[in-house]
Amino acid sequence: MNAKTSPIDLDAYFARIGFDGPRDASIETLDALHLLHPQAIPFENLDPLLGRPVQLDAQSIQRKLVGARRGGYCYEHNLLFRGVLDALGYRTRSLGARVVWGRTDAEMPARTHMLLLVDLEGRTYLSDVGFGGVTLTAPIVLETGREQVTPHEPFRLDSIGENDFLLQVKLNDAWTPLYRFDLEPQFDIDFEVANHYVSTYPQSIFLHNLLVARVAGESRYGLFNRRLNIHGATGGQRELTTVQQMRDLLQNEIGIRLPDEAGDVTSSELDAMLARLP
């Protein structure tokens, strides 16, 4: 795919993330885009909490994440990023992953996360701009057993059996597993099915909890319901007790244009949802 036939408006996307570098399919451009994207476009699940459908067609994703200056979750982020990379001439593959971050049981989780592989200059890179609180800020090489440096935390891929990979992040000098995946290609219909599941299944975490994240310089902002955690140079934690505090945080510190500004929902509907959060 090239820019002339792509449904992605590259000019608008590059303006959104603040990129003005070369538009070539190089590792330098991939590194730059991978760092800028999670700093400009937050991870957030406001739509499922508001009972609104999450649309995964290219036009809807671009309208929301770029034009409306909203955020989204993994499918929206990585489908947008894939469209940009394809338009620039990169060779991409879409995969599905099983999230194990924070799990204490041994039960196999569903394949509900999306990631990308990028084949470039004889190497394959794992690329993922949509994993929320510990989103990669650089692509990493698809090689196991070694620590790989990024602009933020170190990451590592390990083998699980013959066919599966485990992505881990180093937090507080300890390796924490994030998700496992294999190399079976996933198609857009697979993500449509998974998206329907996570955005409508009654027990889905996205229907009962607000999850918001953004990279800000050397720090990471992570909001779970009313608790804000800041990791990095300006670390700290605070509890948000009022709807106005939550609105201020989402708009000013996270950088989300709230949906009631565009007339998608009323202010009272948004405030009622925020007030219900535990």
Write the CATH number for 170: 3.30.2140.20
Query: Angle 250-212-253 (CA atoms, 0-180°, nearest 5)?
Result: 35
Answer whether residue 4 is part of any domain: no
Q: How many domains does the chain have?
A: 1
Answer whether residue 254 is part of any domain: yes
Query: For residue range 115-156, what is the model confidence (pLDDT) as tens digits?
Result: 999 999 999 999 999 999 999 999 999 999 999 999 999 999
**In angstroms, rounded to a whole number, what is the distance separating the alpha carbons of residues 276 and 153?**
33
Please say if the pLDDT value at position 8 is more than 50.
yes
Answer whether residue 3 is part of any domain: no
CB 77, CB 43: distance < 8 Å:
yes
Chain-centroid distance of CA 72 in Å reads 7
- Is-catalytic flag, 74? yes
Query: For residue range 204-248, what is the model confidence (pLDDT) as tens digits?
Result: 999 999 999 999 999 999 999 999 999 887 778 999 999 999 999
Answer whether residue 123 is part of any domain: yes
Please say if the pLDDT value at position 4 is more than 50.
no
Share of the chain above pLDDT 70, in %: 97
Task: Give the pLDDT of residue 235.
Answer: 75
Residue from 9, 74, 77, 231 carrying the catalytic annotation: 74
Please say if the pLDDT value at position 3 is more than 50.
no
The per-residue pLDDT of the chain, averaged, comes to 94
- Is-catalytic flag, 182? no
- Is-catalytic flag, 57? no
Residue from 34, 128, 152, 231 carrying the catalytic annotation: 128
Task: Give the pLDDT of residue 6.
Answer: 67
Residue 272 CB coordination number (10 Å): 13
The contacts of residue 66 (CB under 8 Å, 6+ apart) are: 9, 12, 13, 16, 80
Residue from 34, 37, 77, 113 carrying the catalytic annotation: 113
Answer whether residue 1 is part of any domain: no
Please say if the pLDDT value at position 73 is more than 80.
yes
In which domain, by residue range, is 156 found? 10-276
Please say if the pLDDT value at position 2 is more than 70.
no
Average pLDDT over residues 249-261: 94
Average pLDDT over residues 95-110: 89
Q: With CA atoms as reference, report the closest residue to 211 among 48, 37, 1.
A: 48
Q: With CA atoms as reference, report the closest residue to 32 among 68, 76, 81.
A: 81
Task: Give the pLDDT of residue 5.
Answer: 53
Task: Give the pLDDT of residue 44.
Answer: 98
